[in-house]
Chains A and B, each alone.
Chain A
Amino acid sequence: MLGKTAGGLFWMFRYLERAENTARMIDAGLRISLTRSSAAESEWTSILQSTGLHGSYTAMHGAPDGPKIIDFLLRDPNNPGSIMAGIEAARENARVVRTALTREVWEAVNECYMVLKKALAEPVADRDLPRALQVIRQRSAFVRGASHGTMVRNDMYNFARIGTFFERADNTARILDQKYYILLPSVRLVGSPSDNVQWETILRATSTTRAYQTLHGGDIDPRVIAHFLILDGRLPRSLAFCYGKIGENLGYIAKEYGESKPCDALAEAICSRFEGQDMNAIFDYGLHEFIGDFLRDSTALGRQIEIDYRFSE
């Protein structure tokens, strides 16, 4: 396959995943502002920081303001990081790699674009917002489902999957990076309203509230949340899970090509941070430092994959 195609698949699925993650974050922010309005401003700020768009938002709109942030993240044509811009970029990449996609995958991503283009043509009214966020999640799920059900399991599929998990892990890590301080063992003021709000934001922004309840019961314990999102291999949004998958998908490519590349070693090194690890050791090392190391290493891995498989020249 062409290097450009590998890159196009990787980015198409990254953009889709990112749009979906941004929808989750809006959902979390919306929930907080509806139920705990006093905490809304600081939570919106941390959401903006997690998306990496705090600076551009502030430059354009100034102080955090719920409706403005929602419009900015959803559809603002001046925000290249909006959900709509992400879906457009995903579709543009899909057009570039059209020959690598099944008809079902192409139609799912094209329809996702057409439906959202219409739904997000104007600012979305409050009452329509939950529905709009649902449509975004649903449409990206269609693309994922079509890929899973129809794509041949070869290098193309693996590059698509690597893009998905790479973006997802990045997203989880950035949320943790924003909120690490309320997950530290020193924070034991269980029941403090402000902590409860922040824990809720973390779980909502990663769509893991229900999974947390199923696996850990109702009581929210920051240490358990940290373990859950970093080390729990059962959770499809945890760092350990995503990197397990990235390692596997890179391994399949190496096997298909009969050759191992430098990126394989980098991925393995990241995976080894999670395997057999426990939270105490991570806390001893420093949660903030651990996340920082992770983000730095994953950026390097992304660059190495791009070089090893000749995405561009």
Chain B
Amino acid sequence: MVNKPQYFDEMFGHGADPRPPYEAYCKWFNGENNARLLEKSEEAEALFRLVGVTFNVYGDPDATERLIPFDLVPRIIAAREWAKVAKGIEQRVRALNAFLHDIYHRQEIVRAGRLPAEMLARNEAFLAQMIGVAPPGDIYTHIVGTDLVRTGDDEFFVLEDNARTPSGVSYMLENRETMLHMFPELFSKNRVQSVNQYPNSLRKSLSACAPPACDGKPTLAVLTPGIHNSAYYEHAFLADQMGAELVEGHDLRVVDGRVAMRTTRGYKPIDVLYRRVDDDYLDPLTFNPDSMLGVPGIMDVYRAGGITIANAPGTGIADDKAIYSYMPDIVEFYTGEKAILQNVPTHRCSEPDALKYVLDNLAELVVKEVHGSGGYGMLVGPAASQKEIAAFRAKLEANPGNYIAQPTLALSTVPILTEAGLAPRHVDLRPFVLVSPDKIDITPGGLTRVALTAGSLVVNSSQGGGTKDTWVLEE
């Protein structure tokens, strides 16, 4: 069994014996035949294809549907470990909502000198149209996906706060379904906290944020850009599981001050719209005038309390990578407590001293675009060639304000199944958080993404990453 001691391996730690959460699993695994498990892998892949858990790759001219590779070795987290993570996420999400309310109202954090005013003023993700708007229930981020990485037994860092439209929850659910289908015996040997309540919790959480105009049971709908979007499967899946309609812009129009969907029996008002369309495309009258994906006039309805938009427009400012570097301050400012989860130390290249440091140490750092996502446009210094570093240096010098840099973290590994048996690969974790006026609901576990190439630190599915089922054990 290969095990690189310099990284923390979640199955074996730095030694050769399984850590306690993995004991029962490893005992089972040692009684299994590797070839049979590899066959099971293929079976899982066929199952994913049949169910249609596929995604389209942006910029792929063939537009072929691809599978995100699924590794059938679960990632296992003990109840004690999870409790701390969950507490930290809850604190952070609470702070994010308070922050969003504040920056779109009195901007106390700026007045207090804890956040420079230009961080908002110059930021494209800050929507002036949201100033003074009160979202129903005062909730901005109804759904959050907090990206975490682990570096040691008790060391978790927040890598990113996905506060716009985090995706991947359908993989969390389908991965579990697949494991239950293929290895039922594992679930009698391990007491794993369930995740399948998520769609129901999502429905309840969204319903609890119904707008003032809603009378009676709220009508929910999921707004998708359509079948060619890379996450379409997830949009359809969530709508289906919640019993909500899956709508596109052309199904909707404003009728009598409400956003309504065209049904076989006429237009029917929607109370809560879970939109999987970016802010910029939401309303051609307010934002991008060329957008065909949104609803002309929806922002006026929203401001008048006629509909709940989840997540609220303008929440992108909270997961902006430049704002991220202020998160320890933000958490402290709004909760009065030190942040439970650590931030990765972040150099803002807009600051001359930081820029100099970054330019001098490019080979050791990870450099990201402030507004980028999906692992595009980033430099992973230790993995990059001289030539790549030189090219990136030029981009960075041309527009330093567009970048932040972070040290390369020693990301933990979890083994994957290979032809040669178990082999460690780097992972991250995206737990899914639901926010309503009543509560913050965190599904135990989340989506584990795994870099399938040995040594690689990039886990994004668009860059060849895979996923794993994530187990949080009962106490």
Contact = CB atoms under 8 A, between A and B. Distances in A.
Contacts of B266: 310
B246 interface: yes
Contact of B240 (A96, A98, A110, A310): A98
B472 interface: no
A6 B266 CA distance: 13
Contacts of A2: 245, 247, 251, 261-264
A98 B49 contact: no
A6 B264 contact: yes
B71 to A, nearest CB: 23
A283 interface: no
A99 B265 CA distance: 18
Contact of A111 (B50, B247, B265): B50
A2 B240 CA distance: 13
A167 B232 CA distance: 29
A209 to B, nearest CB: 35
Interface in A87-113: 92, 95-96, 98-99, 103, 106-107, 110-111
Q: Which label, helix, strand, loop or mixed, suits the secondary structure of the A interface?
A: helix
B248 interface: yes
B51 A107 contact: yes
B227 A110 contact: no
B375 interface: no
Nearest to A6: B264
A71 to B, nearest CB: 22
Nearest to B227: A95
Contacts, number: 59
Interface in A48-70: none
B52 interface: yes
B397 to A, nearest CB: 45
B239 interface: yes
A3 interface: yes
Interface string B235-255: 010011000011110110000
A313 to B, nearest CB: 7
A107 B50 contact: yes
A106 B251 contact: no
B245 A99 contact: yes
Contacts of B251: 2-4
Given A95-B227, A107-B51, A313 B240 contact: no
Contacts of B264: 1-3, 6, 155, 253, 257, 309-310
Given A2-B261, A3-B263, A310-B264, A106 B52 contact: yes
Contact of B263 (A95, A253, A310): A310
A92 B232 CA distance: 12
Interface string A240-278: 000000000000010001010000000000000000000
Contact of A110 (B50, B239, B248): B50
A114 interface: yes
A253 B263 CA distance: 13
Nearest to A91: B52
Interface in A215-261: 253, 257, 259
B248 A4 contact: yes
Contacts of B239: 99
B300 to A, nearest CB: 21
A4 B49 contact: no
A114 B227 contact: no
Interface string B256-285: 000001111110000000000000000000
A3 B262 contact: yes
A150 to B, nearest CB: 14
The interface centre, meaning the residue of A99, A253, A259, A309 with most chain B CB atoms within 10 A of its CB, is A99
Interface in A1-18: 1-6
Contacts of B250: 4, 313
Interface in B39-67: 49-52
Contacts of B236: 95, 98-99
A5 B268 CA distance: 14
Contacts of A111: 50
A273 B238 CA distance: 46
Nearest to A103: B51
B263 A1 contact: yes
Nearest to B221: A2
A6 B227 CA distance: 17
A11 to B, nearest CB: 14
A21 B310 CA distance: 45
Nearest to A308: B264
Q: Which 3 A-B pairs have the closest CB atoms?
A: A98-B236, A99-B240, A309-B264
10 contacts: A1-B263, A2-B247, A2-B251, A3-B251, A3-B263, A3-B264, A4-B251, A110-B49, A110-B52, A310-B262
Given A2-B261, A110-B49, 4 more contacts: A3-B251, A106-B52, A253-B264, A259-B265
